Structures are given as structure tokens and as C-alpha cells.
Homo-oligomer: A and B are copies of this chain.
Amino acid sequence: MAFKETRKSYQKEEFNDFGLGGKATSGHYRVLNKDGSFNIRKENVPLFEKFNFFHSLVSMSWTKFLVVVLSTYFCVNLLFASLYMLVGIEHLTGIRGSTATHQFMEAFFFSAQTITTLGYGQVAPTGLVTNIVAATESMLGLLGFALATGLVYGRFSKPSAHLKYSENAIIAPYKNINGFMFRVVNPRGNQLLEVEANVSLSVLRENSAMRDYYSLELERSKVVFLPASWTLVHPITDESPFKNLTAEELMRRDMEVIVVIKAFDESFSQSVYSRSSYKFDELQWGRKFKYLISHDNGRLSIDISGINETEEAALND
């Protein structure tokens, strides 16, 4: 067909590769999931690599994180309560319970008061071993708390670009030709700077299971700021890999458009990346995006909720 073979396999400057290659992603396949994660699973990963303590605890949801913290707290107190029982409950002054259950309960709460460095003092340790256990426990409590502080800060300061992508990409009239378009907004209050997009087309090779990757030239691939919405436009010129391709053909060749957007997040003063992709069934033909910005008295408003709204538009030939 009319695909221009812009993929050069032996060239140093090329950057637009996903570490997968045409053979690995052969057949019908989605490279990037809608949320930007990779559609690939790693097997036989060594356990200590897989379970990276900090990374796991920083990435999990807040609910899960709280459950982990509170159950660790519970278990550690169980452990120390057992230790106090083992050493001899008589070395804790102020214990009133006479049954083992009651005494264990009191040892448990004494442990809680010790590990949080609360120390009411109603119950207090006497004797060498019990004192050693209590002194160690309060120290470990402080270290555990140092850990929790680091984790909480790590969770908060983890930068991420929460760009919102239009659900569908469109083929819309653009100047006297047509263009492949989608748009993004930054719904957050933070400012993104030096926003830069890298868009690629992945299709199966004609009469083959191999997959080819094409870089898509954008009308504008960088903007200084992203205060409102940004419509990314790939003009379908004669050089475009989209040229002469129909919706049916894109489906048959299992089209996927892969988007990577890089930006500088001013709040965190760090670079952030956002990824997404469009499959053939997320591409609408002969539509254009509705305008999101309204004016009133020298101030602009942008309606974030309208990002997916399109209207019919006759395509150019």
C-alpha cells in the first residue's frame, strides 16, 4: 500500500523504539494499555527484585497502605506482648489482671504505649530483661516511625502527570488536507512546562505478522505551557503513513497509535511522563473537536468536562 517506509533499522539517531521490536509484538496485540502501562508480564523475576519494599509501599493505594501499617502495628505488639509474658509478667508493675488472657491484654497495650513512646506509666517495666525489651521496643518504634515518615513523604512527593486524554482520536479536516488528532488537558492546578509529545503509529506489515513502527510528525510537538487544552495534530500529508489508509485497513492491520508526553512539573520541579494509546476502534472519522474555551471580560474559562465532545466535519479528499 502507500506506507512510506520511514523506519530505518540501522541508524544511530533513531529514538522512537520501544524496546520491543517488530517480531516481539507481531500479531494482534496492544503495546500500551489505556492507562499507559505496558501490556507485558515479567516472569521468573528474583524475589528480592520483585518485592522492592520502598517501591511497593510507595506505589500501593492509600487504603492498602493503611491496612499494611495498622496490621504491622498489631502484629509487632502481639510479638512484644508475648515477649513480656515470656520474660515474666511480674516484671511489669501495675498489671492488675489475674488470668493469663487479661495479663496478655495488658502486656499488649503496654507494648503499644511503649512502641509509640506514649508511656503513660500506669504500667512500667522493672528488672533487667524487661527493661531491655522495653528500651529496644521504644527504639524500634522510633525507627519504624522514621520509616513511616519517609514512606508518607515518598508517596506524596512522587510526581506524576495526570493528563487527561480524549477518549477517541479523530480524523478531522485540517487546512486543505486532513489530520489525525487527539487532545489532552491537565485537570490539576499544577503548572506543566515544556510539554513535549512523541507519537508513533504501529501497524502489522502488509501480508505479514510482523509489526512496523512509524514516527508521526506533529504540527507542533512542543508547547512552553499547558494552561488549557492541547490538540495534537498529525497532518496527513503525502508523506504520512496514514495516507490512503481506510478505517477498514487500519482495523485489519491492527493499528495502534502510541503517545508519550513528557513535561516539567513546576510543583515538584521534576520531569514527568504520561503515556497512552489509541487502537483502531478508538479512532473516529469525519469529526472535529468542539471548542472548550469561553471568554468573559478579559478572562478565559476552559470547560474540562467537554474534552470528548466532537461534532461532524466533512473530510477533505
Chain B residues near A228 (CB, 8 Å)? 19-20, 24, 40
Say yes or no: is A61 at the interface (Cβ < 8 Å to chain B). no
A154 to B40, alpha carbons, bound, how many Å? 31
Output the nearest chain B residue to A254 by Cβ-Cβ distance: B298
**Interchain CA distance A307-B146 in the complex, whole Å:** 38
Q: Mark A113-150, 1 if CB is under 8 A from B, else 0.
A: 11011111110111010010011001101110111111
Asked if residues B39 and A188 are in contact (CB atoms below 8 Å), the reply is no
Question: In the bound complex, how far is the Cα of B141 from the Cα of A213, in angstroms?
Answer: 53
Across the interface, do B224 and A42 meet the contact criterion of CB distance under 8 Å?
A: no
Minimal Cβ-Cβ distance residue in B for A25: B300
Q: A40-B299, A113-B119, A143-B148 given as contacts; is B54 within 8 A of A156 (CB)?
A: yes
> Is A35 an interface residue when CB atoms closer than 8 A count as contact?
no
Residues from chain B with a CB closer than 8 A to the CB of A293 are 24
Residue of B whose beta carbon sits closest to that of A266:
B273
Q: B147, A152: Cβ atoms under 8 Å?
A: yes
CB of A158 closer than 8 Å to a CB of B = yes
**Nearest B residue (CB) for A191:** B38
Q: Are A50 and B189 in contact (CB under 8 A)?
A: yes
For window 17-42 of A, CB contacts with B under 8 Å fall at 17-20, 24-30, 38-42
- A223 an interface residue at 8 Å Cβ cutoff? yes
Q: Which residue of B lies closest to A294 (CB)?
A: B43
List, in ascending order, chain B residues with CB within 8 A of A282's CB: none
1/0 contact string of A46-77 vs chain B (CB within 8 Å): 10011011111011000000000110010001
Which residues from chain B contact A55 at a C-beta distance below 8 Å?
A: 188-190, 267
A17:B223 contact, CB within 8 angstroms: yes
For the complex, give the distance between the alpha carbons of A153 and B58 in Å.
12
Q: Which bucket holds chain A's interface residue count?
A: 35 or more
Contacts known (A14-B220, A220-B12, A300-B29); A225 close to B19, Cβ less than 8 A: yes
Counting CB contacts under 8 A, is A244 at the interface? no
Given the known interface contacts A19-B226, A267-B59, the answer about A128 and B105 at a Cβ–Cβ threshold of 8 Å is yes
- Specify which of B18, B69, B114, B303 is in contact with A225 (CB 8 Å cutoff): B18
A195 within 8 A of B: yes
Contact indicator A195/B301 (Cβ below 8 Å): no
A187 and B267 contact, CB distance less than 8 A: no
Q: Any chain B CB within 8 A of the CB of A290?
A: no
Write the chain B residue with the least CB distance to A26.
B295
* A193 contact set on B, CB distance < 8 A: 273
Given contacts A14-B220, A39-B299, A268-B269, contact A227 B20 (CB under 8 A): yes
Asked if residues A142 and B148 are in contact (CB atoms below 8 Å), the reply is yes
Name the residue of chain B whose CB is nearest to the CB of A144. Answer: B142
A52–B20 CA distance with the chains assembled, in angstroms: 36
A264 interface residue per 8 A CB criterion: yes
Q: For residue A195, which residues in chain B have a CB less than 8 angstroms away from its CB?
A: 19
Q: A122-B124, A300-B40 are in contact. Are A269 and B272 (CB under 8 A)?
A: yes
Can you name 4 extra interface pairs (CB under 8 A) apart from A41-B302, A120-B124, A121-B121? Answer: A19-B224, A43-B305, A55-B190, A146-B151
